Amino acid sequence: MKKENCSLPIDNCIVTIAGHDPSGGAGLTSDIKTFEAHGLYGLSVCTAITIQNDIDFKACIWTDVDIIIAQIEILFKRFKISVVKIGIIQSWQTLSVLLDKLYSLNSNIKVILDPIIKASAGFNFHEKENQEILNSVFKKCFIITPNYEEIQLLYPNLNIQDTIEHISNLTNIYLKGGHKTDKKGWDELYYSKIVLVNLPPATQNVSEKHGSGCVLSSALASNIFFKDNLEDAAREAKYYTEQFLSSNSTLLGQHTYKK
């Protein structure tokens, strides 16, 4: 039922377009926890229902693209939205359609894309997908946040340095360093074509967490909401993620922001 005379919605809204993880460690629920820890009101659009917990991934049931678009449209009809974080999507082609929809609703939208190739529990996404569409997809994003394993799978015919240079001509990159074999935990920010900023870990008192990549990406989206300077936003996102990683010794971390 439509409600009349509703008060104006709050103006600190941010959206995650991602999958649902029943354990709450990754995907929509993890993003919402991160947004709210930053003082933002999180809205969510579900792209998939996953059957998983923090250690075991069984299946992914994709949401029809028309249903995803309907969710997006009704949120933009009601709320002022300037920043969107995107997680798992069924295909690069579907992602392209969704990006076009977002820009039709707000031509100044900032999209933070976490190009998830593999779930931490072992499930593969986009394993045999045509990569030709990636160039056009990345041009529509403000920044992408792959880890070291994912970035090497995006353009398998290029080495990692050539891949970084290629993507940097299309969009900004926050390259997560948790999967590096050397300098583990050193993240890298590439912006303004090929400017490199190293983001070293501030603490070694961390433990592996389910959904840590989602947390970093949604923390970055949150800080981009507040900050004009991308380097400052990246450093704050790194700081928040390390708090999450050191919150306990289990695979499911706690979301608290100690500024």
Task: List phi, psi (to 5°) of 176.
Answer: -75, 135
Please state, in angstroms and rounded to a whole number, the distance separating the CA atoms of residues 117 and 112.
16
Identity at 41, one-letter amino acid code: Y
Look at residues 167, 143, 170 and name the one whose alpha carbon lies nearest to residue 153.
167
Look at residues 256, 195, 185, 204 and name the one whose alpha carbon lies nearest to residue 229.
195
Alpha helices in 111-211, H assignment, sequence order: 134-139, 148-154, 160-168
pLDDT in tens, the chain (259 residues): 555 556 666 789 999 999 999 999 999 999 999 999 999 999 999 999 999 998 998 999 999 999 999 999 999 999 999 999 999 999 999 999 999 999 999 999 999 999 987 655 455 666 555 677 899 999 999 999 999 888 988 888 899 999 999 999 999 999 998 555 566 678 999 998 888 888 877 766 777 878 889 999 999 999 999 988 999 999 999 999 999 888 888 888 888 877 7
Please state, in angstroms and rounded to a whole number, the distance separating the CA atoms of residues 24 and 179.
22
Instruction: Name residues whose C-beta falls within 8 Å of residue 4's C-beta, 6 or more positions apart in sequence.
Output: none
Please state, in angstroms and rounded to a whole number, the distance separating the CA atoms of residues 185 and 205.
12
Instruction: Name residues whose C-beta falls within 8 Å of residue 230's C-beta, 6 or more positions apart in sequence.
Output: 143, 172, 189, 191, 224
What 3-state DSSP class applies to 156? coil
Q: Pick 13-245's CATH classification: 1.10.10.10, 3.40.1190.20, 3.40.50.300, 3.40.50.620.
A: 3.40.1190.20
Note the pLDDT of residue 5.
Answer: 55
Note the pLDDT of residue 152.
Answer: 86
CA angle, 118 as apex, 116 and 123 as ends, to 5°?
130
How much is the pTM?
Answer: 0.91
DSSP-assigned letter for residue 212: H
Under the phi-then-psi rule, with left for phi > 0, alpha for psi from -120 to 50, and beta for the rest, what region is 9? beta
